[in-house]
């Protein structure tokens, strides 16, 4: 090793998890922008304020979880410690939160458009 520290390299599964968390964060940001844009466009019959807030919280949570998961992997690898068990729980909660937010948004959007 160049710096003299015994740091374990990123394994294939760790690299895959890290990329997954990066994509989750990016998808969440794109989805947040889409929800805000489309909710502004649909004026007649539109969305209720509390509904949009609930959608934003669900999708925003997945973005925060994605960033937290990626940070956990970086921290574990730079400190030489094993991945925390919470990383796998974050992966499941993050995907569920994004799926819930996108699914609910599609349901509400289709309902508002085809009234």
pLDDT tens per residue, range 38-95:
877 665 556 778 888 899 999 999 999 999 999 999 999 999 889 999 999 999 999 9
Tokens of 110: 């289709």
More confident residue, 20 or 50: 20
Whole-model pTM: value is 0.81
* Plot region of 4 (φ>0 → left; ψ -120 to 50 → alpha; else → beta): left
**Domain ranges for the chain:** 12-113
Three-class SS state of 80: coil
Long-range contacts of 46-52, Cβ-Cβ distance < 8 Å, separation of 24 or more: 46/112, 47/108, 47/112, 51/108
């Amino acid at each position: 090793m160049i710096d003299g520290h015994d740091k374990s390299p990123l394994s294939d599964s760790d690299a895959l998890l890290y990329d997954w968390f990066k994509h989750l964060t990016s998808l969440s940001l794109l989805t947040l922008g889409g929800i805000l844009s489309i909710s502004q466009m649909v004026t007649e019959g539109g969305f209720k304020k509390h509904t949009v807030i609930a959608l934003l919280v669900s999708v925003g949570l997945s973005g925060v979880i994605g960033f937290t998961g990626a940070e956990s992997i970086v921290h574990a690898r730079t400190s030489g410690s094993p991945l925390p068990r919470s990383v796998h729980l974050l992966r499941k909660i993050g995907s569920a939160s994004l799926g819930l937010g996108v699914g609910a948004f599609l349901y509400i959007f289709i309902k508002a458009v085809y009234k």
